[in-house]
Amino acid sequence: MSVITEIYNNNNCNPVLVEFQNGKFNPGEEHNLKSGLYKTKSNKVVVGIESQKIAYTGIVSDTKLYNDYIVIHNKRTKKCRLVPVDFATLQPQLKKKRDLLDVTSSALDTSISDLNKQFGSKKTIRITEQHERLKMNIDSVKEDLEKTVADIEVDFSNQNKEDDDGVYRPKINRGASVKEDVYNFEDILPSKILDSMDAEVDHVMKNLESIEDLKFRPFVAYCLQKLRELKISDEKRKDKIKILTYIHYLLHFFSIPIKNLPKKISICENNKDINFHILDNFSSVSMQKRHRSLSMKTKAVCYALVLTLFAMDYEVNIEELSKDIKMGIKKIQEIGRVLALSQGKDKNYLTLKLPLPAVVQMSAKRKRK
């Protein structure tokens, strides 16, 4: 077995391994190349390699997540040395023969334009003049655009994949150390809405033994039955019932056929705050009509799942929810993965676990019938 005896450490500059983006050079041709390292104004190291016909440039990767080494093995002594290296991908820098091509093209275009103006009809002359003005405008815009974007550098490393789905789901705190901090409850359901439900929830508390008479949505009625069996304080039970009551009105809103959806609709006649909150967040008004798109239904399912987590100790029975909202279990599971939920011990349950699973984006694919 070989033994590592030495690790080189050059603080000034490491050797750079390069990869040509377009193809490879022929054997022996490397001796005809000229190379060099350069530093830009932004302290980035650039590799430059030039052959007799073309030049290649590339920025040296400056990742600090790991180190790369070349192993130099001595077969006789069976000792190894590690040499730190950097990487760069080189792109060809094509040279344009501007003098010849531009002059020839310009001369040809000018000649045709002059002939059209001298011998063409009124329509031809008008079209030629319009073409000349348009061409001048395009060249001017192109030049301005090149100047504008010349110094722009785009860093893709900080882009967050979750932003694509931020329209549908509540914001996820992936740095949370406890379940309670993964979602900010106040952002989902403001305390003003909860406080407005005191009278209605007091009525529910008094009639928990006869849930069927309260006429809740099937999923909410199921959750209330489970909540009734929990040994918790009345104050906590009341807070959880408030959340479930809001879910009831949200699911009720999406059970109304779209053709029966007037501009002014009352989801909850006794509570204007709930009514306005649901309409403002899960529908839109256009051309004197209220609209409720499929994306809004997806958003409603996202919010219903997250709110149920708070009400049912971070666990959701998606089989019961599927029956209520007439949505497939697989679709709800897909939405759950976007919300950083995991499958529970029972396959019909979704639960919130730490650490959170990897980021998943909402699929836009639909099955063709």
Other Cβ atoms closer than 10 A to 6? 11
Mean local confidence (pLDDT), 60-64:
77
Q: What is the pLDDT of residue 342?
A: 92
Q: Which of 94, 75, 72 is nearest to 83 (CA)?
A: 72
What distance in Å separates the CA atoms of residue 201 and residue 215, rounded to the nearest whole number?
A: 14
What distance in Å separates the CA atoms of residue 358 and residue 356, rounded to the nearest whole number?
A: 7
What proportion of the chain, given as a percentage, has pLDDT over 70? 82
For the stretch 147-182, pLDDT in tens is 777 766 655 444 454 444 556 788 999 888 999 999
Q: Which of 101-115, 120-134, 160-174, 198-212 has the highest mean pLDDT?
A: 198-212
Q: What is the pLDDT of residue 260?
A: 66
By the 8 A CB rule, do 229 and 257 touch?
no
What distance in Å separates the CA atoms of residue 70 and residue 172, rounded to the nearest whole number?
A: 41
pLDDT classification of 230: cutoffs 50, 70, 90 = confident
What distance in Å separates the CA atoms of residue 239 and residue 227, rounded to the nearest whole number?
A: 11
- Per the prediction, the chain carries an average pLDDT of 81
What distance in Å separates the CA atoms of residue 89 and residue 215, rounded to the nearest whole number?
A: 66
The DSSP secondary structure of 179-215, one letter per residue, reads GGGTS-HHHHS-HHHHHTTHHHHHHHHHTGGGGGGG-
pLDDT classification of 368: cutoffs 50, 70, 90 = very low
What distance in Å separates the CA atoms of residue 266 and residue 274, rounded to the nearest whole number?
A: 10
**Distances in Å between the alpha carbon of 22 and those of 19, 55, 56?**
9, 12, 10
What distance in Å separates the CA atoms of residue 326 and residue 369, rounded to the nearest whole number?
A: 18
Mean local confidence (pLDDT), 322-339:
92
By the 8 A CB rule, do 67 and 84 touch?
yes
What distance in Å separates the CA atoms of residue 69 and residue 132, rounded to the nearest whole number?
A: 59
Other Cβ atoms closer than 10 A to 302? 21
Burial of 58 (0-12, 13-18, 19+ CB in 10 A): buried
What distance in Å separates the CA atoms of residue 232 and residue 230, rounded to the nearest whole number?
A: 6
Which helix (H) or strand (E) is 330 found in, with range? Answer: helix 329-338
The phi and psi torsions of 29 (rounded to 5 degrees) equal -75, -20
Examine the pLDDT at 328 and tell me if it is beyond 80.
yes
By the 8 A CB rule, do 309 and 315 touch?
yes
CATH (residue range 3-93):
2.60.40
Q: What is the pLDDT of residue 95?
A: 60
Q: What is the pLDDT of residue 107?
A: 63
Q: Is the pTM of this model over 0.75?
A: no
**Between 274 and 51, the higher pLDDT residue:** 274
What distance in Å separates the CA atoms of residue 101 and residue 108, rounded to the nearest whole number?
A: 11
What distance in Å separates the CA atoms of residue 197 and residue 191, rounded to the nearest whole number?
A: 10
Examine the pLDDT at 351 and tell me if it is beyond 90.
yes
**Distances in Å between the alpha carbon of 320 and those of 88, 108, 181, 297, 316?**
55, 75, 26, 17, 9
Q: 């001017």: which residue's tokens?
A: 140
Examine the pLDDT at 103 and tell me if it is beyond 90.
no
Helices 198-206 and 234-255, packing angle to 10 deg:
110
Mean local confidence (pLDDT), 39-45:
84
Mean local confidence (pLDDT), 303-307:
94
What distance in Å separates the CA atoms of residue 139 and residue 137, rounded to the nearest whole number?
A: 6
Where are the chain's structural domains? 3-93, 98-137, 163-351
Q: Which two tokens stand for residue 22?
A: 């377009």
By the 8 A CB rule, do 290 and 261 touch?
yes
Range list of β-strands (E), the chain: 3-7, 16-20, 34-39, 45-50, 55-59, 68-74, 79-93, 284-286, 289-291, 315-317, 342-343, 349-351
| Identity at 327, one-letter amino acid code | M
pLDDT classification of 125: cutoffs 50, 70, 90 = confident
Mean local confidence (pLDDT), 298-316:
93
Examine the pLDDT at 369 and tell me if it is beyond 60.
no
